[in-house]
Amino acid sequence: MTVMAAMPRRMAFYLARNVVLATLAAWAILISFDAIVALVGELRDIGKESYTLADALLFTLLTVPRRLYDEFPTVAVIGSLLGLGGLAARSELTAMRAVGLSKLQMGLAVLLPLTALTVLMMVNIETLGPFAEQQAQGLANLKSRQLMMARYSGLWAREGNLFFNARGNSAPHNEGGKTWIELQDVRLYQFDPQGRLQSLAHADRAEHRSNGWTLFGVERTYFEARSVRVEKLASERWQTELDDSTLEATLARPRYLTSAELRSNIEYLRRNQLDSLKFESAYWSRWFYPLNVIALCLATLPFAFGSLRSGGFGKRLFIGILIGIGALLVQRMFVNLADVYRFDVRLAFLLPPLLVWWLCWGWLAKKI
């Protein structure tokens, strides 16, 4: 009895090991291909300013943690199908059923190691991923020594009734171990609660250091009831809660920020009555990431347990991957619809995996 009781556990471990090995192999192939394609793109920028081959190699390497996170849902689908399909092709799944391993136990044996990898990816995107991405963007700045700016109107930000615009070059500086951001051709538009322009300030440049913002070469115009008054200052301290991290977060792609940074930017945008949907979408995608992976892996089970007479493993592998990728595309479409029609983005992340989950568990309920 003891041997018979231990056998299903050993079989489940054997099944899980095969799925994990297949997942890691698929992961290595996809990441290598993706990294090579990215490196080829970076090679075209060698020679711009001080950007070198070593910088291109390091940039590509630093983006690997983010690529691991982005590609894992697809990799989990492929790994599940390869691992289970290989066992099915050798009739090992049939043998496992014969020794008492149910389809539910097989499904759990597949999901548990993949869930562990999912948790690892969530830790990655909250720690190593954003840090490496920030370092990579620092290397990318070597191509032009400028921060990313809007193509025509420059950088825009808002704090209450104050609108901030930097139209010139913006560059990070590092001297004596101290780092700061310098913005060129800065304009500050101050409005009253009724929307009337109160003052317009123009500064040749603005610096943000550890002690806050300083404006240089300031010319401020006050629009009073019956007159216009102009004031010129060599320098002026600017009291604001806007800092360099907020500016960098505004310029960066939100999905490369940590959840805490995303939440902070959402609060900032809402406080200033700005559109925060882009950051909300990235924020909630983190919370629904595990649900997506589990749902997609469940979607592979019918194809792994299906009859080989229905067309063979290659056909099931193709259909399973097609359904997995299709589910991700449908979810992306739902997120875009949420952006257009302004409904809760959480529904866009929740409905596709729930649909896949319902279909798969409906199948299992009939077959187990």
Tokens of 267: 């609060």
What was the pLDDT predicted at 248? 53
Q: Are residues 8 and 112 in the same domain?
A: yes
Determine the Cα–Cα distance for residues 37 and 16; give it in Å rounded to an integer.
31
Helices (H) and strands (E) in the chain, counts: 11, 7
Q: Which of 188, 215, 241 is the last residue of a domain?
A: 241
- Splitting the chain (368 residues) into consecutive groups of 10 residues, what average pLDDT does each group show? 53 87 93 94 84 90 93 88 80 78 80 92 92 79 51 64 74 61 84 88 84 86 87 85 57 72 79 76 90 82 58 64 76 84 86 76 54
Q: Are residues 133 and 153 in the same domain?
A: no
What was the pLDDT predicted at 72? 93
What was the pLDDT predicted at 11? 82
**Position 258 in a domain:** no
Q: Are residues 287 and 222 in the same domain?
A: no
Tokens of 211: 């002690």
Q: Are residues 187 and 284 in the same domain?
A: no
Q: Are residues 54 and 99 in the same domain?
A: yes
Determine the Cα–Cα distance for residues 355 and 260; give it in Å rounded to an integer.
30
Q: Are residues 124 and 165 in the same domain?
A: no
Overall domain count for the chain: 2
What was the pLDDT predicted at 62? 92
Contact, 176 vs 153, CB < 8 A?
Answer: no
For residue 66, the SS3 value is helix
Q: Are residues 8 and 122 in the same domain?
A: yes
**Can you tell me which residue has the tokens 């940074």?**
261
What was the pLDDT predicted at 1? 41
Alpha carbon distances (Å) from 112 to 69, 289, 290, 301, 361: 18, 15, 12, 14, 17
Give the dihedral sign, CA 330/335/341/342: positive
**Position 270 in a domain:** no
Tell me which residue of 296, 286, 290, 287 sits closest to 79, measured CA to CA: 296
Q: Which of 189, 219, 241 is the last residue of a domain?
A: 241
**Position 248 in a domain:** no
Q: Are residues 6 and 123 in the same domain?
A: yes
Q: Phi, psi (5° rounding) for residue 169? A: -65, 145
**Position 286 in a domain:** yes
**Position 122 in a domain:** yes
What DSSP string describes 182-249?
EEEEEEEEEE-TTS-EEEEEEEEEEEEETTEEEEEEEEEEEE-SS-EEEEEEEEEEE--S--HHHHHH
Q: Are residues 6 and 118 in the same domain?
A: yes
Contact, 57 vs 40, CB < 8 A?
Answer: no
What was the pLDDT predicted at 217? 92
Q: Domain range spanning residue 191?
A: 149-241
Q: Are residues 133 and 194 in the same domain?
A: no
Q: Are residues 104 and 160 in the same domain?
A: no
Helix or strand (DSSP H, E) at 158: strand 155-159
**Position 60 in a domain:** yes
Query: Which DSSP symbol is given to 162?
Result: E
Contact, 26 vs 119, CB < 8 A?
Answer: no
What was the pLDDT predicted at 313? 61
CATH code for the domain in which residue 235 is found: 2.60.450.10
Q: Which of 183, 214, 241 is the last residue of a domain?
A: 241
What was the pLDDT predicted at 362? 63
**Position 97 in a domain:** yes
Q: Are residues 11 and 104 in the same domain?
A: yes
Determine the Cα–Cα distance for residues 208 and 213; give it in Å rounded to an integer.
4
**Position 54 in a domain:** yes
